[in-house]
Amino acid sequence: PPPPAFALGARITTLPPLLNVRAQPSSTAQILAVVGKGSAGTIVEGPVTVNGVVWWKVAWTTIFSGWSVQTYLGLVP
């Protein structure tokens, strides 16, 4: 799996047009919300690697916390 790209407390943003926020770090877990490109949040837990995919729990500024895939997150400059 790719190395962890973030640290706890890091400010991040979404990269794709839409990103699923899940209840657990799994692609089969319940989708809690969908956030749009440029949504901001803070890393609050992780990383967790499941089946070669790295997940981070994010406290989103517009909704509650949930898990998203590292590949679709970027650091806020």
Which residues lie closer than 8 Å to 3 by C-beta, 6 or more apart?
Answer: none
Q: What is the pLDDT of residue 1?
A: 56
Backbone φ and ψ for 65, nearest 5 degrees, come out as -80, 155
Q: What is the pLDDT of residue 62?
A: 80
Lowest mean pLDDT among 1-10, 14-23, 48-57: 1-10
Query: What's the pLDDT band for 3 if we cut at 50, 70, 90?
Result: low
**Average pLDDT for 4-25:** 93
Q: What is the mean pLDDT of the chain?
A: 92
The kind and range of the H/E element at 11 are strand 11-14
